[in-house]
Amino acid sequence: MDWSFITEYYPLYIESAVLTVTIGGLGIILSVIVGILCAIARYYRIPLLNGIAAAYTELSRNTPLIVQLFFLYFGLPKIGIVFSSETCGVVGLAFLGGGYMSESILSGLLSVRKTHLEAAASLGLNGFQTMTNVILPQAASVATPAVCANVIFLLKETSVFSAVSLADLMYTAKDLIGMYYSTTEALTMLVIAYLIIILPVSIVFTLLERRLHRAGI
């Protein structure tokens, strides 16, 4: 292990890690928003939107992220639509994650028993009150583990951003390996960087799930 190489080039990993987390975070936030909208459209079976949401969910979940990124980065410019690498990363991750988030959130919404909805109606609660006071609290306990798993999955999927020339962690590692052939050192720093990013998120989500379980939510 060449420690001098690690000492010299670890700042590059810090820069690329910041970029990875930034792009990944924005993509995940957008994926949650898209997932919520699609889940609501499918839950209430809103005409037209229900079909669009279902079709989008199947398309996003059954195509690899790298294919979606290639379409955004190399395909769309053919018709005059050009996105930067950063924009492609955010949009691609949001497109992929939105489908997974939609399924997770929808499963939570559908887990609420009809008797609870009937009870809310008998108490005179309107649609908004029923959603905020009856449906969402129960749906959260079912959807939270799946949503947390999706977040971790999407963070790991950021490793393919380098395919569209985005200077993320994987791009940095491949670049250093290509220039200096220091494969062991470059990959070791890559693994450590992803562990530093993902492990704390995993621990926080595990604690959150345990707290929800103990609270009986």
DSSP secondary structure letters along 46-82: -TTHHHHHHHHHHHHHTS-HHHHHHIIIIIGGGGT--
How long, in residues, is the chain? 217
**CA-to-CA separations, 12 to 27, 160, 194, 195, in angstroms, rounded:** 22, 18, 14, 16
Strand, coil or helix: what is 93? helix
Which of 24-28, 159-163, 181-185 holds the top average pLDDT? 24-28
Domain count, the chain: 1
We report the CATH number of the domain holding residue 42 as: 1.10.3720.10
Task: Give the confidence band of 1 by pLDDT, cuts at 50, 70, 90.
Answer: confident
Task: Kindly tell me if the per-residue pLDDT of 217 is higher than 70.
Answer: no
Give the C-alpha separation, 127 to 71, whole Å. Answer: 40
pLDDT digits (tens, 9 = 90+) for 110-152: 888 888 777 878 877 777 778 877 888 788 888 888 999 999 9
pLDDT tens readout for residues 55-72: 999 999 999 999 999 999
User: pTM of the full predicted structure?
Assistant: 0.87
How far apart are the C-alpha atoms of 42 and 54, rounded to whole Å? 7
Query: Which of 141, 122, 125 is CA-nearest to residue 133?
Result: 125
Integer Cα distance of 96 and 28 in angstroms:
10
Q: Measured between alpha carbons, how far is 190 from 164 in angstroms, rounded to an integer?
A: 19
Token representation of residue 19:
């970029």
Residue 180's domain comprises: 3-215
* pLDDT for 93 beyond 90: yes
What is d(CA 97, CA 157) in angstroms, rounded to the nearest whole number? 10
